[in-house]
Amino acid sequence: MENRIIEFVSGLRAAGVRVSVSESRDAFLASSNVAVPQRETFRVALRATLIKEQRDRETFDRLFPMYFGGDPPALQPVGQNLQPADSETLQQMLRELQAELSDLLRDLLQGKAPDNEQLREQLGRLPARVDPRMLPRVERELNKRLGVAQMLREIEALLAALEQAGMQAATLQALRAEIEQNLQALAEQVARFVGQQWRERAAQTPAEEASDAGLADRPFESLGDADYAQLQREVRRLAALVRTRAALRHKRGRGRLLDAKTTLRANVRHGGVPFALHFKRRHLKPKLTLICDVSTSMRQVVEFLLTFIYELQDQLSRTRSFAFIDQLLDISPELAAAPPATAIPRILRNLPAGHYNTDLGAALNQFVTHHLDAVDQRTTLIICGDGRNNYNDPRCELVELLRRRARRVLWLNPEPRYLWGSDDSDMGQYASAVTAVHHVGNLRELAAAVDSLLASN
Amino acid sequence: MTDTAEQLGAALKAQQYIPSEEICTVMFLAQQLQKPVLVEGPAGVGKTELAKALASALGRPLIRLQCYEGLDESKALYEWEYSKQMLYTQLLSGKLQQMLADTDTLAAAADRIAKEDDVFFSMRFLLQRPLLRAILSPEPAVLLIDEIDRADSEFEAFLLEVLSDFQISVPEIGTLVAINKPLVLLTSNNTRELSEALKRRCLYLFIGYPAPAAELEIVRLKVPALSAQIAAQVVDAVQSLRSLDLRKAPSVAETIDWARALLALNASALTRDVFDSTLTVLLKYESDLQKARQMIRREPRKPKAPDAA
Ligand SMILES: Nc1ncnc2c1ncn2[C@@H]1O[C@H](COP(=O)(O)OP(=O)(O)OP(=O)(O)O)[C@@H](O)[C@H]1O
Ligand SMILES: [Mg+2]
């Protein structure tokens, strides 16, 4: 059983669920602690110890029967209980239809299912990383290749022929029920076989590759083929990590600062003797204003950045967000109403139709004219863009103006440094106008940039 | 301590809590493995109630820490009781004068007072908050940390440390170690992501809406005066409402409220009129009310035979 649990845990990991070593140890302990080793209790014990997110339950529930399902039901020979006369009719009909009946049906009626060899031959080798949610589709495909659809038609034809030959309705009914039971058993065997194949593949997949971990380090431009749900999960995970770090930092941070004013006021009733000390709120949460380039090249990075920022709202005091291609839009209301993954496509759809060229200079001008109230001496202003302006005026002086007004101006750019300043990139100029530039080429770098932003407030 | 999950289930039922099989198993495991349980689920499905029922079922005291934004260690763990210290200082001032009479320098006087520090920083003046009470409880307690997602992450990080060794150090007194580890339940409505470290440390239990039979049992238990037939109709209606795409689906708490309202109205059957006029007990948003009325128009409710229960 222990080995089976280990194998199951690596299956979960291959399916993208994060399971730590301590959690798999808990699963052992739990499974050996359930007094009556009933399957359902066992299942609940494993789930409570291994799955800590509601959204991973589906994966668990799908994989569990593949590992702990026991033997699938066997097929039974059909027609064993028929009266001799009916049995004779059936046999004769089978002989008559000889040419029209597939081997699959003939076997099914004798209580035989295709063996693993045959199944393997039809299925071929599963690719290395199949999302377990896809397995029903794989099953359907295998059923199709086995000729199940054809067999169903043959069954109808056979039953119709038997009726013609004068078989009683009740007898036909019983025969149909037996056949259906075998069909059911066959379907389960096929599902079990597919599950078994998936398990073998999962066991061969090295843990690193199997987990989402790789996603954090892959360059943004290569994420196109990654599973979207998995990416979202990874972003949320990194955000939670950043939050934990921030929380620990505050907790272990430098000594607390005495708040003299509040202390005096609170201790009036003690005759001014400062018994109850009051401390300054240990740290001021950053106030953020974001200006994001949502042109095609930047869209995905911006979506991740905004997802990060909005996952970390409790670490921030106020956030305002603006998007631009050549015009500037205040997107804070949309982001307040829906998570970034939903809001951003909606924002893009609502942009007036036409052909766009990134023009940060013009967007900055609009920002300074209409939204200067979004920046004060407590604000950290973040500009997220590649600094490619299509040879428009970069308006660096506006960035400098904003830097004097804001607490600081940070620039996040997904382009590697050696490309800054090439062709239509004004990044070199912008870089010297802002407080700091972070290169963010993948999720981990993005997380680190956000982390340092929280750390140095 | 109960010996099996089934026994625990029976004990919970005796406390008027109807647990699913999963709830029984997880609560049983929590005792066996001495691990905290993180309980998640929509509002009003009985997360808080579970902790209360569990405490009574096990005959343990319930200690509750309600979380909110800004909750800090002084409200969760302990505080020095300044006014009491102050009062004692004043009452004892004569004694203090006497004690200091033969010191000639300020420094000598201060040294002498310092020697008596532990009189003023002793358990006597320590105001115990829920976490410390749970740790010092002479009998093993059930500690309910309710709505942890509302507390700041700073507090979550602090809690993690407490939960890992059940000991805390009070600088003036020393380290206080739990005599009996409490059984800890944390609840969350999932308004923000909790840290992985916390989740790793806990068993996880998701409580969803109950199955029809269980919900009927709850209604019969909480509103026994309501006829079996109407109770069944109530549950039937609530369960189909939940399958609609509502902004706020009715929870068990609302089912109970609705059942009580029907009882108060002395309704003899759940007709469409009665349904219409009491629906606001169940649903809070105008758009949800409209959807519910549409549903009822589509499938006029036939009086259903009461279940055997
Ligand atoms: N399984 C159950 N057995 C008995 N009563 C239940 C059950 N589930 C819910 N209830 C009842 O539903 C009501 C709401 O429960 P409770 O307040 O514990 O919900 P909650 O999940 O803590 O909600 P919230 O997230 O809003 O705090 C209570 O009156 C409780 O008695
Ligand atoms: Mg509650």
B303 lies in a domain?
no
Beta-carbon count within 10 A of B70 CB: 11
CATH number at residue B19: 3.40.50.300
User: pLDDT-derived band of residue A281, with 50, 70 and 90 as boundaries?
Assistant: low
Ligand 1 contact, B248 CB (< 6 A): no
- B58 — pLDDT class (breaks 50, 70, 90): very high
Spatial separation of the C-alpha atoms in residues B172 and B149, rounded to whole Å = 31
Tokens of A77: 């020979």
* Distance in angstroms (rounded) separating the CA atoms of residues B161 and B157: 7
Q: Tell me, using a 6 A CB cutoff, whether residue B253 lines ligand 1.
A: yes
Among candidates B4, B154, B197 on the partner chain, residue whose Cβ is nearest the Cβ of A35: B4
Mark whether A88 and A52 lie in a shared domain. Answer: no
pLDDT above 70 (res B295): yes
| pLDDT score for A355 | 58
pLDDT tens digit sequence for A220-242: 776 766 667 777 778 888 888 88
Return the percentage of chain A with pLDDT > 90, whole number: 30
Confidence class of residue B303 from pLDDT cuts 50, 70 and 90? very low
Closest CA to A345 of A331, A366, A359, A363: A331
Helix (H) or strand (E) holding A287: strand A287-293
Which of A132, A134, A155, A136 has the alpha carbon at shortest distance from A144? A136
Lowest mean pLDDT among A36-40, A82-86, B80-84, B286-290: A36-40
The kind and range of the H/E element at B216 are: helix B212-222
Regarding whether A190 and A121 lie in a shared domain, the answer is yes
Which residues on B lie below 8 Å from A52 (Cβ)? 38, 196, 199-200, 202, 204
| Residue A142 confidence (pLDDT) above 70 | yes
Interface contact A247-B205, CB threshold 8 A: no
Distance of CA A401 to the CA centre of its chain: 41
* C-alpha B216, offset from chain centre: 23
Contact by Cβ (8 Å): A278, A259: yes
Q: What is the pLDDT of residue A206?
A: 63
Distance from CA of A36 to the nearest CA of B (A): 8
Q: Is residue A35 part of a domain?
A: yes
Close Cβ partners of A232 (under 8 Å, ≥ 6 residues apart): A307, A341
pLDDT at residue B218 is higher than 90: yes
Partners of residue B37 on adjacent β-strands = B185, B203
Q: Is the CB of B14 under 6 A from ligand 1?
A: no
Residues B265 and B278 sit within 8 Å (Cβ to Cβ): yes
B204-224 burial code (b ≥16 CB/10 A, e <16) = bbbbebbeeeebbbbbbebbe
CA distances from A315 to A280, A444, B152, B158, B187 (A): 17, 19, 9, 16, 21
pLDDT range class, residue B152, cuts 50, 70, 90? confident
Of all residues in chain B, what percent carry a pLDDT higher than 90?
Answer: 50
* Contacts for A274 with CB less than 8 Å, ≥ 6 apart: A263, A264, A267
Task: State whether B72 and B117 are in the same domain.
Answer: no
On whether both B100 and B160 belong to a single domain, the answer is no
- The answer, yes or no, to whether residue B168 has pLDDT greater than 60, is yes
Query: Is residue B270's pLDDT more than 80?
Result: yes
| pLDDT at position B256 | 96
Distance CA A174, CA A11 (A): 41
Confidence band of B307 (pLDDT split at 50, 70, 90)? very low
Write out the residues of chain B at the interface with chain A, using a CB-CB cutoff of 8 A. Answer: 3-5, 21-22, 25-26, 28-29, 32-33, 35, 37-38, 40, 82-83, 85-86, 152-154, 156-158, 190, 192-197, 199-200, 202-206
A130 and A11 share one domain: no
Q: Does B66 lie in the same domain as B166?
A: yes
Q: Which residue has the higher pLDDT, A159 or A273?
A: A159
If you measure CA to CA, which chain B residue comes closest to A308? B193
Q: Please check whether residue A110 is in contact with residue A77, taking contact to mean a CB–CB distance below 8 angstroms.
A: yes
In 10 A of CB A294, how many CB atoms? 25
Residues in chain B closer than 8 A to A45 (CB atoms): 25, 29
Which ranges of A253-357 does DSSP label H, i.e. alpha helix? 260-266, 299-311, 332-337, 340-350
In a domain, A220, yes or no: no
Could you tell me the two tokens for A114? 């295709």
Q: What is the dihedral of CA A245, A251, A257, A262, to 10 degrees?
A: 110
The rounded distance, in Å, linking the Cα atoms of B109 and B111 is: 5
Give me the residue from A30, A40, A53 closest to B29, CB to CB. Answer: A30
pTM for this model (two decimals): 0.71
Amino acid at A268: V
Q: Is B85 exposed, middle or buried (0-12, 13-18, 19+ CB in 10 A)?
A: middle
C-alpha distances (whole Å) from A124 to each of A128, A138, A141, A194, B6 are 12, 11, 11, 11, 47
- Strand locations in A106-247 (E): none
Q: Are residues A304 and A404 in the same domain?
A: yes
The chain-wide mean pLDDT, for chain B, equals: 87
Residue A279: helix, strand or coil by DSSP? strand
A392 pLDDT more than 50: yes
Q: Is residue B32 part of a domain?
A: yes
Total count of domains within chain A: 3
pLDDT at A57 over 50: yes
Q: Residue B19 class from Cβ within 10 Å (0-12 exposed, 13-18 middle, 19+ buried)?
A: buried
Average pLDDT over all residues of chain A:
84
* Cβ pair B153:A276 closer than 8 A: no
Mean pLDDT confidence for A387-416: 91
* Of A112, A193, A178, the residue nearest A145 (C-alpha): A193
| Co-location of B221 and B275 in the same domain | yes
CATH code assigned at A423: 3.40.50.410
Same domain, A48 and A139: no
pLDDT for residue A255 is more than 70: no
The larger pLDDT score, comparing residue B17 to residue B5, is at B17
Question: Is residue B181, in this structure, part of any structural domain at all?
Answer: yes
Q: Whose CA is nearest to atom 12 of ligand 1?
A: B253
Range of the domain at B261: 212-296
Q: What angle do CA B89, B91, B92 make, to 5 degrees?
A: 65
Q: State the DSSP string of A235-248.
A: HHHHHHHHHHHHHH
- In this structure, the answer to whether residues A374 and A297 fall within a common structural domain is yes
Q: Indicate if the pLDDT at residue B211 is higher than 90.
A: yes
What gap in Å lies between CA A46 and CA B257, rounded to an integer?
Answer: 36
Looking at the fold, whether A295 and A403 belong to one and the same domain comes out as yes
B66/B145 same-domain check = yes
Distance, CA of B109 to CA of B131 (rounded, Å): 37
Contact B15 CB / ligand 1 (< 6 Å): no
What is the distance between the alpha carbons of residues A189 and B69, in angstroms, rounded to a whole number? 53
Write the pLDDT tens digit of every residue in A294-315. 887 788 888 888 888 888 887 8
**pLDDT band for position A189 (cuts 50, 70, 90):** very high
Q: Is residue B149 a part of any domain in this protein?
A: yes
Apex A398 CA angle, A395 and A401, nearest 5: 155
**Distance between Cα A54 and ligand 2 center (Å):** 18
pLDDT at A207 over 80: no
User: For A111-117, what is the mean pLDDT?
Assistant: 89
Tokens of B62: 């319930």
Does residue A446 sit in the same domain as residue A305?
Answer: yes
Q: What is the ipTM of this complex?
A: 0.82
Range of the domain at A62: 2-70
Residues A310 and A432 reside in one and the same domain: yes
Mutate to test the interface with A, among B148, B158, B162, B200 (most CBs of A within 10 A): B200
Classify burial at A402, counting beta carbons within 10 Å of its beta carbon; exposed 0-12, middle 13-18, buried 19 or more.
Answer: buried
Question: 3-class DSSP state for residue A330?
Answer: strand
pLDDT of A186 > 70? The answer is yes
Identify which ligand lies nearest to the alpha carbon of B14.
1
* A59 & A93 share domain: no
pLDDT at A352: 64
Closest by CA to A402, choosing from A387, A423, A383, A426, is A383
Residue B229 burial by CB count (10 A; 0-12/13-18/19+): exposed, middle or buried?
middle
Tell whether A39 and A104 lie within a shared domain: no
pLDDT surpasses 90 at A32:
no
User: For residue A210, what pLDDT band results from cuts at 50, 70 and 90?
Assistant: very low
Position A66 in a domain? yes
Interface residue A314 vs chain B (CB under 8 A) = yes
- Is the separation of the CB atoms in A249 and A455 below 8 Å? yes
A44 and B CB contact within 8 Å:
yes
pLDDT value for B309: 38
Q: Are residues B162 and B243 in the same domain?
A: no
The CA distances from residue B215 to A338, B135, B141, B252, in Å, are: 33, 36, 29, 7
The number of distinct structural domains making up chain B is: 3
Task: Please tell me which residue, B169 or A412, carries the higher pLDDT value.
Answer: A412
Identify the band that residue A291 occupies on the pLDDT scale cut at 50, 70 and 90. very high
B1 pLDDT more than 60:
no
A55 and A143 both lie in a single domain: no
- Minimal C-alpha gap between B204 and chain A (Å): 5
Q: Can you name the residues that pair with B186 across neighbouring β-strands?
A: B38, B145
Residue B309 lies in a domain: no
Rama region for A182: left / alpha / beta (φ>0; ψ in -120 to 50; rest): alpha
Do B155 and B30 fall within a single domain? yes
Contact A241 B196 (CB under 8 A): yes
| CB of A150 closer than 8 Å to CB of A102 | yes
pLDDT at A389: 84
CB count, 10 Å around CB of A228?
9
Residue A387 CB partners (closer than 8 Å, separation 6+): A360, A394, A411, A413, A415, A420, A425, A426, A427, A430
Least confident of A11-15, A257-261, A350-354, B103-107: A350-354
Most distant CA pair in chain B, distance: 95
